[in-house]
Chains A and B, each alone.
Chain A
Amino acid sequence: MSYAFDTTDIVLSVVKIAVVLLALLNVVPIMVWVERRGSALIQDRPGPNRVGPFGLLQSFADALKFILKEDIIPAGAHKWIYTLAPTFGLLPALTTIAVVPWGRKFFIEEREFLGRTLFEGGRWFEPVIVNVNVGILIVFALASLGVYGIVAAGWASNNKYSMFGAIRASAQMISYELALTLAAVSVLLAAGSLRLTDVVWQQSGTFRLFDTIPIPAWNAFSPAMWIAFVVFVVAGFAETNRLPFDFAEAEAELVAGYHTEYSSMKFALFFMAEYMAMTTMSALIVTLFLGGWDIPWYNEPPTFLGFILSVAAFVAKVALLLFVFVWVRWTIPRLKYDILMRLGWKVFLPLAFLNIVIVAAFIAMRWL
């Protein structure tokens, strides 16, 4: 297949990038609102309710305030690294989503528009920014860069709390990254491909439990892969530094962890990066284990309608997982650091390996 690379491709690609980036940027204020209202709900207090209806505009007011605040670089900080660290934290958070498919592909018919022929001969629209054959490797390559932003920030700040937060966070993140990558291997075994669109297609349709009850063929429901699902979700929490694993911040022990010295927009960038990383992680969990854009018990048609429905299903699943992130944060207390490291190396790592063997055996037995 020769690679056709024309204006339509470029325009479609740019549109996709714009849509995804805008969606991610809008998720942040919404999630901040959900987090604050959600915590208020759980702790039985009103939460932000002054700016706009139900405090909906609170996040935008905060963003404006962040921009208007003074930009302080503390004495003794390494100026360049201190300034670049927030942007470096933002880069992986924004770009990792590029290989995650967010809808069913559909066929665009050729049509006339203002005297010009658009989509000559019709073409397939694949709702993923880059559909490359190394998909998940790109995810892990970019996601593991996230630790650099935190370490750079902690080291450059010239503050002990920042330093501790950064060192702890880096050890934690690399430990759980192992469990994360190994849990993903189980899914790739079943899909036989690193391409995330293939992973989703493999999960569409149903399998029959006891030959009677149809169950969506999502990896999370598969008898071979639910261990990997649990490992991946827990490691995902650790990887995004969310409670119960938020040792990068740990406000009870380390003031504010790696961003103790950060203020104004630089702090806001770290904040944004955290929520974007959370969103990406949710999207990844959905894609690998919860069927991606697949609607259970429904076969989406390859038309625009099917595309819209599948995108809605994907967004709904990601939103649900994001709520679980918030829910867990305000329900489970922080672990002790030694327990966290022990858990990562002694429990989740062997479990991930065990699951790889189980899935491989299932495939060799032709059960999967």
Chain B
Amino acid sequence: MTYSFVPILLMILAAAILGAVFLGLNTIIGKKQRNPSKLAPYESGVPLLDESRKRVNVKFYQIAMLFILFDIEAAFLYPWAVIYRNATLTPAGISWFVFGEMLVFVLLLGIGYIYVWKKRAFDWT
């Protein structure tokens, strides 16, 4: 079965080669006339004031952390989604049990979500 993934590897390779060819062509054919003012980073027309890689607002880190939490929850939903239809086809009672299991999961997630909301993690002002 692992073989069936080989075409994806081939595509990644093709894409990398494509990128390399385009960039290589550009480097070979393109003009080369450098001077300091051309190489200076754009700063709305004034000389560079200070460095650009500064500290970033903590909000962005918060979003990244929340993303990881919720994305893992989403990943848990995938296997459940795949077996769900077959599980509901089994005799009486089971289908609502599987449904209830998911409901409990989503409700637990919902409590965390409401907590984060109340902590104003989604607000930017």
Chain A's nearest CB lies how many Å from the CB of B53? 7
Q: How many interface contacts (CB-CB < 8 Å) are there between A and B? A: 215
Are A94 and B53 in touch, CB under 8 angstroms? no
Residue of B nearest to A352 (CB): B74
What's the Cα separation between A188 and B95 when bound, in Å?
Answer: 17
Are A91 and B30 in touch, CB under 8 angstroms? no
**B111 touches A (CB below 8 Å):** no
With contacts A87-B23, A182-B77, A338-B124 known, is A74 near B30, CB below 8 A? no
| Interface pick from A115-123, A171-179, A213-221 | A171-179
Are A94 and B30 in touch, CB under 8 angstroms? no
Give residues of chain A (324-357) contacting chain B, Cβ–Cβ below 8 Å. 337-338, 341-342, 345-346, 349-350, 353, 356-357
Are A21 and B19 in touch, CB under 8 angstroms? no
Chain A's nearest CB lies how many Å from the CB of B77? 5
With contacts A72-B39, A353-B110 known, is A129 near B74, CB below 8 A? no
What's the Cα separation between A356 and B78 when bound, in Å?
Answer: 11
Chain B's nearest CB lies how many Å from the CB of A114? 27
Chain A residues with Cβ below 8 Å from B109 are: 353
Are A178 and B70 in touch, CB under 8 angstroms? yes
Chain B positions within 8 Å of A, measured between CB atoms, are 1, 3-8, 10-12, 14-16, 18-20, 22-23, 25-27, 29-34, 36, 38-44, 48, 51-54, 56, 59-60, 63-64, 66-67, 70-71, 74, 77-78, 81-86, 88, 95-96, 98-99, 102-103, 106, 109-110, 113, 117, 122-125
Pick the most buried of B16, B41, B48: most chain A CB atoms within 10 A of its CB. B41
What's the Cα separation between A159 and B42 when bound, in Å?
Answer: 7
Chain B residues with Cβ below 8 Å from A350 are: 113
With contacts A98-B11, A159-B52, A193-B82 known, is A349 near B124, CB below 8 A? no
With contacts A171-B64, A189-B81, A341-B63 known, is A69 near B30, CB below 8 A? yes
Residue of B nearest to A90 (CB): B19
Is chain A's interface secondary structure helix, strand, loop, or mixed overall? Answer: helix
Chain A residues with Cβ below 8 Å from B36 are: 75
Are A132 and B4 in touch, CB under 8 angstroms? yes
Are B14 and A94 in touch, CB under 8 angstroms? yes
Q: State the 5 A-B residue pairs at the shortest beta-carbon distance, nearest first.
A: A87-B19, A265-B26, A192-B85, A338-B124, A94-B15
Are A353 and B39 in touch, CB under 8 angstroms? no
What's the Cα separation between A21 and B81 when bound, in Å?
Answer: 32
What's the Cα separation between A66 and B44 when bound, in Å?
Answer: 24
- 23 A-B pairs with CB atoms under 8 Å apart are A17-B7, A71-B27, A76-B52, A91-B15, A91-B16, A94-B18, A95-B11, A130-B4, A158-B53, A159-B42, A159-B52, A171-B60, A174-B63, A174-B67, A192-B81, A260-B42, A265-B26, A269-B23, A338-B124, A349-B70, A349-B113, A350-B113, A357-B103
6 more contacts with CB within 8 A, not counting A76-B52, A265-B23, are A76-B41, A94-B18, A158-B41, A174-B67, A192-B86, A364-B96
With contacts A130-B5, A178-B71, A345-B122 known, is A69 near B31, CB below 8 A? yes
**A86 touches B (CB below 8 Å):** yes
**A106 touches B (CB below 8 Å):** no
